[in-house]
Structure 1
């Protein structure tokens, strides 16, 4: 087989010509104007980058595949991409480090709830289902806040333990806090819920909150009840809960190998509440979740949920099970948005980059829902292949600079249709609850 000869050209070509879609989309949602109103770090001199430019460049780096700050340097040499976004140049790795290093706890608390509140104000959707979850982010060094805690994949390694609130209807992140790695699941959760409910989503109706057993505390349950919000939360199998489950005898079969029951129970100094118990027969459901609770009943796994809803037993369980989609959101954030790798020495600097990643994720979720209506579940990796990774260059045509995109003739009408959708979009964005 003969190898093709190699030649070089000075022609300025970008591998991300499709990012002109995101440029137009960012224009349409007017997020730059909102960023300019926030308490962002001020420019050090007239020669330094505008904070809005740094943030938008950071998002662009993520959307094009960067998973570390050093990767952002790649785009500094892509002058065609600079022209698409109207920039003379892009920040370097050190610029990002200095910029995020200016964030403090006070600034993070000022900037991000306000930005997220504005973002969700652009969406016409109510009766939200909020899923609260946490994850583990393993760290290779000794960054501030990284500590040894629960780490199921890499035991004994330092980590951070962030807390996140997802909106099920829009597949977006409502709020996110970074926490030290040795933090318990329920630590700071009430304060986190207060910021999410009373600030970020204060203009929205919240119909349901779902969470795993890490958030099963009297403090959290009482707060949600005071807000008069429905909830379904997985229960920790404390000895007194386990004893109540053992005494159940009125099981109802809902399908092969799965039975449900209910009980009314109160912890010491707690409130009497409704609990839904699910029993799965191991032989018939070998891959089912739950815990083996009783030595004299080795053939069953049990799961338990506390709720203030009056729905039938199987409906409660089915409603809770759809919460598993937030695990897919976490997986995508880690795989496609670099959630695990954008890390700095200072804790609040790392949290600032962490929370800006969440905004980048929300913008992309909004884009794929309204610009790609038939592909609204596509991951960022898929979007890069079909929409963004398109060779392009600029050229002068009829005394006007145009972007030339290399695309097969059969796909051009499809791409033109996306451009037309993006150009016609403007807030508010109406989500259907159907």
Structure 2
């Protein structure tokens, strides 16, 4: 039902953004467990996995999981289910953070010829290999200095080397003397990819995924996906999916019926503006006329 609702609004080629979030519980709900919980350490939680389309803000699929699982737990079966739901609708690129990885995970993208871009953990072993690289390409020289390289690297859990783009950046301190950067001044980011793009392009493309946090925050604050309704795990998963369906309906409503200036509104702002204007007799949405015989 969800895919049927959003399919007309999806672009011709999709960008699949994968992420997980923590939903704290206050009770003994089924399969709630203690895991990584930055906001409420030590509290039981759920750890849902979500897939969004990066250009349209729409949620493609979601699954509820116990709170003590890793971000990548059951990611491959979840993605296969997502592809089945999408049918013939092609996914061109995928983005994910450093919580995801593994041979099965990477092989899934390769088997479907989907270009992937994923953040990597900055380990001592990776840092040592990067330190041996002497020829960095200079991209930006303004308030920030940004440089990049690309290398073939094999993590300990990988069966083969993969292309890794590394970006380093340093803040420029303005003074009357020449600025000498030390190794400790640089901030490093590493991205594993199957694409042959320039390092700066990969980095900027991955950074567009930052909007994913806004989508999840909107689903939490606007549609209460973090409010656990029952003690039943199955019922709570249905509750999650219904709320995400409501999120998608709202996103489609904005695209179909609202002026461009209003399409970036959160549901909270929309409720405020909508009801305030409606009371004043000034509805601001624009519903296209329906041609009937």
TM bucket (normalised to shorter chain) is: 0.7 to 0.9
1:156 to 33, 37, 42: 42
Gapped runs of 5+ residues in structure 2?
174-181
Aligned-partner SS, 2:50: strand
Tell me if 1:350 matches 2:236: yes
Structure whose alpha-carbon radius of gyration is higher: 1
- For residues 190-205 of structure 1, the aligned pairs below 5 Å read 190-197=76-83, 199-205=84-90
Tell me if 1:261 matches 2:127: no
After the TM superposition, list the runs of 4 or more consecutive aligned residues in structure 1 that deviate by more than 6 angstroms. none
What is the Cα-based RMSD across aligned positions, in Å? Answer: 2.1
Q: Is the 8 A contact 1:254 1:314 kept in 2?
A: yes
Measured against aligned partners, the alpha-carbon deviations of 1:26-83 in whole angstroms (never above 9, x if no partner) come to xxxxxxxxxxxxxxxxxxxxxxxxxxxxxxxxxxxxxxxxxxxxxxxxxxxxxxxxxx
Supply the distance in 2 between the matched residues of 1:252 and 1:244 (Cα, whole angstroms): 17
- Which has the larger share of strand? 2
Tell me if 1:219 matches 2:99: no
Distance 1:249 1:133, change over 3 A: same
Provide the residue aligned with 1:71 in structure 2: none
Provide the residue aligned with 1:141 in structure 2: 27
Aligned-partner SS, 1:258: strand
- Which has the larger share of helix? 1
Supply the distance in 1 between the matched residues of 2:183 and 2:25 (Cα, whole angstroms): 41
Supply the distance in 2 between the matched residues of 1:339 and 1:233 (Cα, whole angstroms): 26
Provide the residue aligned with 1:49 in structure 2: none
Deviation at 1:207, TM superposition (A): 1.0
Gapped runs of 5+ residues in structure 1?
1-114, 285-295, 391-404, 426-434
Distance 1:274 1:177, change over 3 A: same
Provide the residue aligned with 1:279 in structure 2: 168
Provide the residue aligned with 2:263 in structure 1: 376
2:11 to 125, 130, 143: 125
Supply the distance in 2 between the matched residues of 1:363 and 1:258 (Cα, whole angstroms): 40
1:247 to 129, 132, 144: 132
Q: Is the 8 A contact 1:258 1:281 kept in 2?
A: yes
Q: Is the 8 A contact 2:165 2:191 kept in 1?
A: yes
TM-score (normalised: structure 1)? 0.60
TM-score (normalised: structure 2)? 0.88
Tell me if 1:315 matches 2:201: yes
Deviation at 1:206, TM superposition (A): 0.7
Deviation at 1:249, TM superposition (A): 1.7
Provide the residue aligned with 2:177 in structure 1: none
Aligned-partner SS, 1:165: strand
Tell me if 1:270 matches 2:159: yes
Q: Select the structure with the greater relative contact order (CA < 8 A; seq sep ≥ 6).
A: 1
